[in-house]
């Protein structure tokens, strides 16, 4: 096959490429379970998942003592005790407690945190941005946490995380989108979005800072939720309001 793309649909109808996480010759389960298996793609300004993990309490524990954990237990036999803290795969893929190992990384998700505004997942269609079953996903993710944490700790974490997602939706995305729609209807957007300060800022609002705020809040990295997230969202919103006012008042694009 021509490349190692994650979500590619190949001419024979197969999807993805196993060597994105496994190496071709060893196919080592140890390699696949380490955060490095995910880091080649899940990094950077628009989905800094490896940075978020490294700066969470869990990443701190992994980076301190992960070398001494047992990594080669068979699927569904890898349990707390073999390790003290979760890695990406513990939460998103591995069997733990009564949960079975899965290769479907969507299975334990509630929201779609990559989208412009986050909605609860509720679709079987692989092409839908809402692929997955949110309530079922949340139940499964909570089972992961409950293997190590008290129920109250887990419930409180998700209450707080869900509030952060709703705050992004309501206080940042919604007003930004309303301004975008009005400027569009009044022909006050440039044709090329990439030389239009309003449209560039709108893109960064959801695609970069908005994801950092939501994913940082949901994976326990306060600095990503706040400084790389909500603080910059506030800056974006002020900037959008300035440009919006100028264009509406003058009826022209500056
Ligand atoms: C997103 C990363 C990822 C991709 C892509 C992926 N795997 Fe895995 N795979 C894992 C992880 C993580 C485990 C270990 C899960 C666990 O902890 O039980 C695993 C475990 C396995 C195991 C068990 C290995 C053992 O030693 O018992 C097999 C077999 C396997 N994967 C096959 C595949 C095949 C075939 C593909 C492609 C169709 C594939 N995987 C694609 C991450 C991935
Ligand atoms: C080769 C690149 C690559 C690697 C390696 C990779 N991913 Fe991904 N992952 C992607 C892409 C691309 C998407 C987005 C697919 C889409 O558009 O919905 C994604 C999406 C996801 C999602 C969200 C799924 C959804 O329904 O929105 C999760 C969770 C995830 N990956 C976890 C992992 C974990 C855990 C690992 C490591 C074991 C991993 N990924 C390794 C490229 C990768
Ligand atoms: C402690 C468990 C935990 C760990 C460790 C963890 N995640 Fe997550 N991850 C979550 C939770 C919880 C969510 C939000 C799920 C929800 O409610 O939708 C999430 C969300 C995500 C998303 C966003 C999916 C979307 O809807 O857009 C991606 C991508 C992702 N994680 C990848 C990773 C990668 C890569 C790592 C390791 C570098 C990692 N996660 C480590 C629990 C974890
Ligand atoms: C393999 C065990 C394990 C799993 C699974 C696990 N955690 Fe943790 N978690 C820990 C450990 C250990 C600590 C550090 C506790 C300490 O301070 O001694 C921790 C710390 C935390 C903290 C920081 C808490 C604080 O009070 O400082 C949060 C938040 C957290 N976990 C949330 C979660 C969530 C949410 C999940 C599930 C998505 C989860 N954890 C899954 C082991 C785990």
Query: pLDDT band for position 7 (50/70/90)?
Result: confident
Ligand 1 in reach of 32 Cβ (< 6 A): yes
Query: pLDDT band for position 1 (50/70/90)?
Result: very low
Ligand 1 in reach of 22 Cβ (< 6 A): yes
Ligand 1 in reach of 93 Cβ (< 6 A): yes
pLDDT (average), residues 212-229: 98
CB 177 within 8 A of CB 239: no
Task: State which ligand 1 atom lies nearest to the alpha carbon of 72.
Answer: 26
How crowded is the C-beta side of 214, counted as CA atoms within 13 Å? 28
Ligand 2 in reach of 37 Cβ (< 6 A): yes
CA–centroid distance, 106 to ligand 3, in Å, is: 10
For position 9, what pLDDT does the model report?
76
In this predicted structure, the answer to whether residue 13 has a pLDDT above a threshold of 80 is no
Distance of CA 102 to the CA centre of its chain: 18
pLDDT (average), residues 122-141: 95
Within 6 A (CB) of ligand 3 lie: 35, 38, 42, 47, 49-50, 53, 58, 86-88, 91-92, 109-114, 138, 141, 215, 218-219
Query: pLDDT band for position 189 (50/70/90)?
Result: very high
């Amino acid at each position: 096959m021509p490349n190692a793309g994650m979500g590619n649909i190949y001419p024979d109808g197969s999807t993805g490429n196993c060597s994105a996480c496994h190496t071709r010759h060893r196919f080592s389960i140890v390699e696949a379970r380490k955060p490095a298996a995910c880091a080649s793609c899940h990094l950077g300004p628009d989905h800094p998942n490896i940075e978020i993990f490294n700066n969470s309490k869990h990443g701190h524990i992994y980076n301190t003592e992960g070398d001494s954990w047992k990594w080669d237990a068979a699927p569904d036999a890898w349990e707390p005790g073999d390790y003290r803290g979760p890695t990406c795969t513990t939460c998103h893929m591995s069997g733990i407690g009564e949960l079975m190992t899965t290769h479907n990384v969507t299975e334990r998700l509630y929201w779609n945190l990559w989208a412009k505004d986050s909605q609860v997942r509720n679709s079987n269609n692989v092409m839908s941005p809402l692929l997955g079953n949110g309530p079922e996903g949340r139940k499964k993710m909570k089972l992961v946490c409950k293997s190590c944490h008290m129920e109250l700790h887990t419930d409180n974490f998700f209450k707080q995380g869900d509030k952060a997602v709703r705050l992004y939706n309501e206080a940042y995305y919604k007003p930004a989108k309303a301004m975008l729609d009005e400027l569009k209807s009044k022909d006050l957007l440039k044709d090329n979005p990439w030389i239009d300060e309003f449209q560039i800022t709108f893109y960064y609002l959801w695609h970069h800072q908005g994801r950092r705020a939501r994913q940082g809040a949901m994976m326990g990295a306060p600095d990503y939720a706040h400084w790389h997230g909500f603080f910059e969202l506030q800056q974006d919103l002020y900037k959008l309001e300035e440009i919006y006012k100028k264009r509406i008042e003058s009826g022209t694009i500056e």
